[in-house]
């Protein structure tokens, strides 16, 4: 156990409105736990912040005591950036309120909120913003890296819908960043991660969505994986407006919508989400069905909040997880064949390969409009996920992820990928993900707002 005898935590408690936890305190183990069960770190101090003043007090205390700082939003990262070993964790969990202005179509969301809270608050008014695909993901980490989801083909990334953000800087100053206030900082936080400060509030632009949408799942057995991937790829080229597709190489989940005889069967599921009418959705599925000849299919209306929670059970809290991602400008036959050949190597029923086609609203934003580490002309993002309940299975799955990523990498755009799909973040991979020019611009902004690199327990961009 880390000794905290030399830390005058009573001084910090006197400065803060929120709780300050030490090892052994009630709530300490719960506060340090994160989604990825692989992570088991023990901060020396956890500061549960209730507002910008608490964050500033915690940063000042960390500076006085020489403690490394990490920031916990939703705790959903793959490599445990939220938890500093023997350092000070700024825990934003208490900052989870979401306030919606339905007339202005805006939502103000605390830095500790999760997607489920954002979705529930906005859907009460028939509104939503693009925000991930797993509802217990934190809004903060998702957004700062970019944030894509089922609405991205319609309305772009989460960062494309960010109007402003309240940020506590390394020196404790609280500022609001927007297109007109600290525009350089506003540019940097839209894709540059948590390098520039602690975001205590996000303001999002909202769009009319739902409350019901349409879900299609067409499932092809793994033995015909190459056929399914080719058919899906070809169909993507003509996807009509209002349709958001994806490919999930998975074990069929044991849910009521999947026929019982196919539960846990490995295969390729082509997901078709429709945000228009039922007839439009059904018509869009027809050519895909004819091309796939699926083992089974599901077409059903579903609440938008249900869609947002659809993948939750495959990524339960506390599961062990590891990921590697990559971008593709195309999915030629050799990529399809390589992936299909490697799918049988998955041994955990929770491991998966997800392929999200980009385009539409995502492509309408300029490459340099945000700090997002990927071209807006990209066609696909691929996530190769190892998800396992125990260390032994996890070791096998992790090796499978790395081997599969290595096999696909020659076809990828650059050597980096979406920063939220990096289980390791070496500087060369980050530089590749952002591109040299954008990376250098981020480093210059980092030098202005965090010259001492206080915020470095992240996908770190060192100050220039």
For the domain covering 9-91, report its CATH number. 3.30.43.10
Weakest-pLDDT range from 55-59, 209-213, 251-255, 416-420: 416-420
Compute the 3-state secondary structure of the chain and give helix, strand, coil in percent, each to the nearest 5: 35, 25, 40
**Strand-pair category, 174-178 with 98-101:** unpaired
Fold of 212-421: Vanillyl-alcohol Oxidase; Chain A, domain 3 (3.40.462)
Tens-digit pLDDT profile for residues 16-35: 999 999 999 999 999 999 99
Stretch 75-101: mean pLDDT, rounded?
94
pLDDT averaged over every residue in the chain: 93
In this prediction, residue 391 carries a pLDDT of: 95
Task: Identify whether the C-beta of residue 72 lies closer than 8 Å to the C-beta of residue 90.
Answer: yes
Q: Which residues contact 6 (CB under 8 A, 6 or more apart)?
A: none
Each domain of the chain, given as residue ranges in start order, spans 9-91, 98-209+439-449, 212-421
Average pLDDT rounded to a whole number, residues 138-155: 95
pLDDT (tens digit, 9 = 90+) per residue, 161-201? Answer: 999 999 999 999 999 999 999 999 999 999 999 999 999 99
Q: What is the pTM of this model?
A: 0.94
| CATH classification for the domain delimited by 98-209+439-449, as one of 3.30.70.100, 3.30.450.40, 3.40.190.10, 3.30.465.10 | 3.30.465.10
- With CA atoms as reference, report the closest residue to 271 among 279, 281, 256, 280: 281
Compute the distance between CA of residue 85 and CA of residue 285 in angstroms, rounded to an integer. Answer: 50
The CA-based angle 363-200-374, given to 5 degrees, is: 20
If you compute the radius of gyration of the chain from its CA atoms, what whole number of angstroms results?
22
Share of the chain above pLDDT 90, in %: 84
Which pLDDT belongs to residue 407? 95
In the predicted structure, residue 324 carries a pLDDT above the cut 80? yes
- Answer yes or no: is pLDDT of 2 > 70: no
Burial (CB count <10 Å: 0-12, 13-18, 19+), residue 285: buried
Average pLDDT (117-124) is: 98
**Which residues, listed in sequence order, are joined to residue 245 by a DSSP beta bridge?**
272
CA nearest to 418, candidates 324, 331, 315, 314? 324
What is the predicted pLDDT for the residue at 44? 96
List, for residues 407-443, the tens digit of each pLDDT value.
999 998 865 678 888 877 778 888 888 989 999 999 9
Question: What average pLDDT does range 352-374 have in this prediction?
Answer: 94
**Cis status of the peptide bond prior to 265, with omega within 30 of 0:** no
């Amino acid at each position: 156990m880390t000794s905290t005898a030399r830390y005058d935590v009573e001084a910090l408690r006197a400065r803060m409105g929120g709780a300050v936890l030490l090892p052994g305190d009630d709530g300490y183990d719960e506060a340090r736990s994160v989604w990825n069960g692989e992570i088991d770190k023990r901060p020396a101090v956890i500061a549960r912040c209730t507002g910008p003043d608490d964050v500033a007090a915690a940063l000042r205390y960390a500076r006085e005591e020489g403690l490394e700082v990490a920031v916990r939003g939703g705790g959903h990262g793959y490599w445990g950036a939220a938890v500093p070993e023997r350092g000070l964790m700024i825990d934003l969990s208490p900052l989870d309120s979401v306030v919606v202005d339905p007339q202005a179509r805006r939502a103000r969301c605390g830095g500790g909120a999760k997607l489920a809270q954002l979705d529930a608050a906005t859907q009460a008014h028939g509104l939503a913003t693009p925000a991930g695909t797993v509802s217990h993901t934190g809004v903060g980490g998702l957004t700062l890296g970019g944030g894509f989801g089922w609405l991205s083909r319609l309305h772009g990334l989460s960062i494309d819908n960010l109007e402003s953000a309240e940020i506590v800087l390394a020196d404790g100053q609280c500022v609001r960043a927007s297109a007109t206030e600290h525009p350089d900082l506003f540019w940097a936080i839209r894709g540059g991660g948590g390098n520039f400060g602690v975001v205590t509030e996000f303001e999002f632009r909202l769009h009319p969505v739902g409350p019901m949408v349409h879900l299609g799942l067409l499932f092809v057995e793994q033995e015909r994986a190459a056929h399914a991937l080719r058919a899906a790829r070809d169909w993507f080229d003509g996807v009509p407006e209002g349709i958001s597709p994806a490919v999930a190489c998975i074990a069929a989940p044991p849910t009521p919508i999947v026929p019982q005889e196919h539960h846990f069967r490995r295969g390729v599921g082509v997901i078709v989400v429709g945000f228009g009418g039922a007839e439009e959705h059904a018509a869009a599925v027809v050519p895909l069905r004819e091309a796939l000849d699926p083992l089974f299919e599901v077409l059903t209306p579903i609440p938008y909040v249900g869609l947002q929670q659809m993948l939750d059970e495959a990524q339960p809290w506390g599961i062990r997880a590891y990921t590697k991602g990559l971008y593709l400008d195309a999915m030629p036959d050799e990529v399809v064949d390589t992936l299909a050949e490697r799918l049988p190597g998955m041994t955990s029923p929770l491991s998966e390969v997800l392929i999200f086609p980009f385009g539409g609203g995502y492509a309408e934003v300029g490459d340099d409009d945000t700090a997002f580490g990927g071209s807006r002309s990209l066609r696909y993002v691929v996530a190769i996920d190892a998800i396992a309940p125990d260390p032994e299975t996890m070791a096998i799955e992790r090796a499978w992820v790395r081997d599969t990523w290595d096999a696909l990498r020659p076809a990828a755009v650059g050597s980096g990928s979406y920063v939220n799909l990096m289980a390791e973040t070496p500087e060369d991979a980050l530089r590749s993900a952002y591109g040299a020019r954008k990376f250098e611009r981020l480093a210059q902004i980092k030098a202005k707002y965090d010259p001492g690199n206080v915020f470095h327990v992240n996908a770190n961009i060192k100050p220039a």
